[in-house]
Amino acid sequence: MAPTTGKKSKTDDLKQEDVLQALVLADSFNTRFAPITQQRPRALLPLVNVPLLDYTLEFLTAAGVQEIIVYCCAHSDQIKKHIAKSKWGDNSGTCSVMVIVSEDSLSVGDALRDVDDKSLIRSDFVLVTGDVVANIRLKHIVEVHRIRREKEKCAVMTLIYKHASPGHKTRCREEDFVMAMESRTNRLLHYQKTMHQKIFEIPREVFTEHSDVELMYDCLDTHIAICSPLVPQLYKDNFDYQTRDDFVRGILINEEILGNTMHVHFLTDEYAARVSNVLMYDAISQDIINRWSFPFVPDVNISSHNTDVVSYGRHNIYRSQDVTLARGCVLEKNVVIGSGTSVGSNTTISGSVIGRNCKIGENVMIEGSYLWDGVTVEDNCTVTTAIICDHVTLYQGVTIQPGAILSWKVKVGPNVTVKPGSLLTAELVKEMDEWGESGEEDIPDAGIENPECFGTQAEAFVYNPRADIDDEDGDALGDVWGMPSLSEDEDEEEEVSSEDSFSEEGMSPSGSPPPDDSRLFYTEVLDTMERAKEENISTENTILEINSLKHAYNINIHDVNILVMKAVIEFPQAHTTLEPPQLLIVLQKHLIKHLQLIKNYIKSVESQRDCLTALEELSLGNPSIKAILVKLIHLLYEKDILMEQVIIQWYKDIPQFEEKDAKMAVRQQVAPLIQWLQEAEEESDEEDD
**176 domain residue, yes or no:** yes
Q: What pLDDT shows up at residue 319?
A: 93
Residue 83 half-sphere exposure, CB side, CA atoms within 13 Å? 30
Top pLDDT among 658 and 278 is at 278
Percent of the chain at pLDDT > 70 equals: 80
Beta carbons of 201 and 596 less than 8 angstroms apart: yes
Q: Are residues 401 and 516 in the same domain?
A: no
What's the pLDDT at 31? 52
Instruction: Kindly state whether residues 124 and 222 are assigned to the same domain.
Output: yes
**pLDDT greater than 50 at residue 360:** yes
Rounded to whole angstroms, how far apart are CA atoms 524 and 519?
9
Of 439, 462, 485, the residue at which a domain comes to its end is: 462
Is the model's pLDDT at 474 over the cut of 50?
no
Q: Measure the CA dihedral 395/398/404/409, to 10°.
A: -10
**What is the mean pLDDT of the segment spanning 491-516?**
37
Q: Report the 10 Å Cβ neighbour count for 153.
A: 12
Which DSSP category does 169 fall into? T
Residues 429 and 558 in one domain: no
User: What is d(CA 517, CA 515) in angstroms, rounded to the nearest whole number?
Assistant: 6
State yes or no: pLDDT of 479 exceeds 50.
no
Q: What is the CATH number of the domain that holds 498?
A: 1.25.40.180
Domain membership flag for residue 623: yes
DSSP 459: B
Let me know if residue 468 belongs to a domain. Answer: no
**Angle value at C-alpha 135, between 134 and 141, nearest 5 degrees:** 95
Q: Using CB atoms within 10 Å of the CB of residue 544, give its burial: 0 to 12 exposed, 13 to 18 middle, 19+ buried.
A: buried
Q: What is the pLDDT of residue 534?
A: 84
Closest CA to 372 of 344, 335, 407, 333: 407
How many domains are there within the chain? 3
Q: Is the residue at 60 inside a domain?
A: yes
3 state SS of 220 = strand
pLDDT value of position 95: 83
Work out the pLDDT band at 683, boundaries 50, 70, 90: low
Comparing 94-108, 168-182, 379-393, 469-483, which segment has the lowest mean pLDDT? 469-483
Check if the beta carbon of residue 495 is closer than 8 Å to that of residue 656.
yes
Look at residue 21 and give its three-state secondary structure: strand
Query: Quick one: what percent of the chain has pLDDT higher than 90?
Result: 25
Q: Tell me if 341 is assigned to some domain.
A: yes
Mean pLDDT taken over the chain: 80
How far are the Cα atoms of 191, 195, 295, 464 from residue 198, in angstroms, in the given order? 15, 9, 39, 32
Indicate whether 226 and 90 sit together in one domain. yes
Structural domain including 354 reads 308-462
What is the model's pTM?
0.67
Kindly state whether residues 449 and 535 are assigned to the same domain: no
- Check: CB of residue 336 under 8 Å from CB of residue 320: no
Is the bond into 414 cis (omega within 30 degrees of 0)? yes
Q: Does the pLDDT of residue 313 top 50, yes or no? A: yes
The residue among 417 and 258 whose pLDDT is bigger is: 417
Q: How far apart are the first and last CA of the chain?
A: 64
SS3 219: strand
Distance (Å, rounded) from C-alpha 507 to C-alpha 524?
Answer: 12
The CATH code of the domain that includes 313 is: 2.160.10.10
Q: Give tens-digit pLDDT for 196-242.
A: 677 778 888 888 888 889 998 888 899 999 999 988 888 887 777 67
> Rounded to 5 degrees, what are φ and ψ at 439?
-85, -165
> Facing residues of 274 across strands?
132
Taking only the tens place, the pLDDT of each residue in 103-141 is 777 778 888 888 888 888 888 999 999 899 999 989 899
What is the C-alpha to C-alpha distance for residues 418 and 405, in angstroms, rounded to an integer? 10
Predicted pLDDT of residue 176: 83
Q: 359-360 and 376-377: which strand pairing?
A: parallel
The radius of gyration of the chain from alpha carbons, rounded to an integer in Å, stands at 26
Same domain, yes or no, for 372 and 266? no
- 418-441 average pLDDT score: 64
* pLDDT band at residue 331 under the 50/70/90 scheme: very high
